[in-house]
Amino acid sequence: MDAKNLHGVIVLDKSADISSARAVAAVKKILKAKKVGHSGTLDPFATGVLVCCINQATKLARFFLEGSKKYQAVLHLGSETDTQDATGTTIAACPDVSVSAQQVRTVCELFEGEYWQVPPVFSALKHQGTPLYKFARSGNPIQKPPRRVEIRYIKVQAIDLPRIQFEVSCSAGTYIRTLCSDIGKKLGCGGHLQQLTRLESSGFTLAEAISLSDLKQMAGAGKIADAIIPMAQSLRGIPAMVADKALTDNIKHGRVVYAKSILPPSNNNPKGLIKILDTDQNLIAILDHHRESDRMKYLCVFDN
């Protein structure tokens, strides 16, 4: 099948030393797709899960951006950098890193739960339409106010000073390099992020990810469809219903759809979202239900 007519998600295993934008451009070129976007940037030095949305699935990126993330990180104690990671310039050093395993675990536990995090000045967040890293590189760093993030857990996996390897599950918008810097400061010796692999993003895992080289081979063999998760299957946390002809016609013509006609009596979906499939299991719409109204709100409608 022509990749221009394929719509869905590719879970890319991004390699180091390539930006997320370049990785997306490479996917678009390999697939010869009309549109490709991603849902959640990975820094160039980081590896792992990069969720790429193909063609009509670019409309779904908004639903993945707020999903939880899971990472494996290596924290290097005793050295602080201006970027909070290994790509930056050292700005402070502590020659004597003498902390116990118990101190490390205790400090890591302090960050679990809600955590007010100050975004790094070297980041893609924007100020007056310009990414912060451009201000920082020009010597005029802009500091954004703290933001509330959530650290669901930090599991210390290995301690080989000055390096600490850990796994962290966190909310969207969490900067792991800032977390490493903050842990280092709390331990009294400073630190920076040395390595980072994203293990999971919005339910997509590294186990199902594919490298750019493997994707290219599959495209050459005419098996690119095997690498794409269909749109209906990609929204894993949203309940689904199969529409009959009447509902399908109503949706395609933008008519009012009432919750009582499609939602079960006890709808336990706290967000009120529901994905509507046709009889061939293709995604035709995503609707939203607000408790104060019986009308369903159209979020996305897809051409099939």
CATH code of the domain in which 50 resides: 3.30.2350.10
Q: Are the CB atoms for 82 and 177 separated by under 8 Å?
A: no
Domain that holds residue 166: 69-198
Task: Give the separation between CA 4 and CA 71, rounded to whole angstroms.
Answer: 32
Active site residues: 43
Q: Is the pLDDT of residue 269 over 70?
A: no
Same-domain check for residues 191 and 220: no
Distances (CA, A) of 298 to 22, 152, 237, 262: 33, 32, 18, 14
pLDDT (tens digit per residue) in 8-25: 999 999 999 899 999 999
Same-domain check for residues 41 and 74: no
Which of 211, 233, 255 corresponds to the end of one domain? 233
Measuring CA to CA, which residue among 42, 96, 107 is closest to residue 71?
42
**pLDDT band at residue 304 under the 50/70/90 scheme:** low
Q: What is the pTM of this model?
A: 0.90
The total of structural domains in the chain comes to 3
Same-domain check for residues 217 and 184: no
Same-domain check for residues 156 and 74: yes
**pLDDT band at residue 2 under the 50/70/90 scheme:** low
Q: What are phi and psi of 152, to 5 degrees?
A: -75, -40
Which of 233, 255, 282 corresponds to the end of one domain? 233
Same-domain check for residues 216 and 267: no
pLDDT (tens digit per residue) in 52-64: 999 999 999 998 9
Q: Is the pLDDT of residue 270 over 60?
A: no
Task: Give the separation between CA 249 and CA 234, rounded to whole angstroms.
Answer: 24
Which of 184, 217, 233 corresponds to the end of one domain? 233
The angle formed by the CA atoms of residues 74, 77 and 79, to the nearest 5 degrees, is 115
For the chain, how many helices (H) and strands (E)?
9, 18
pLDDT of residue 106: 97
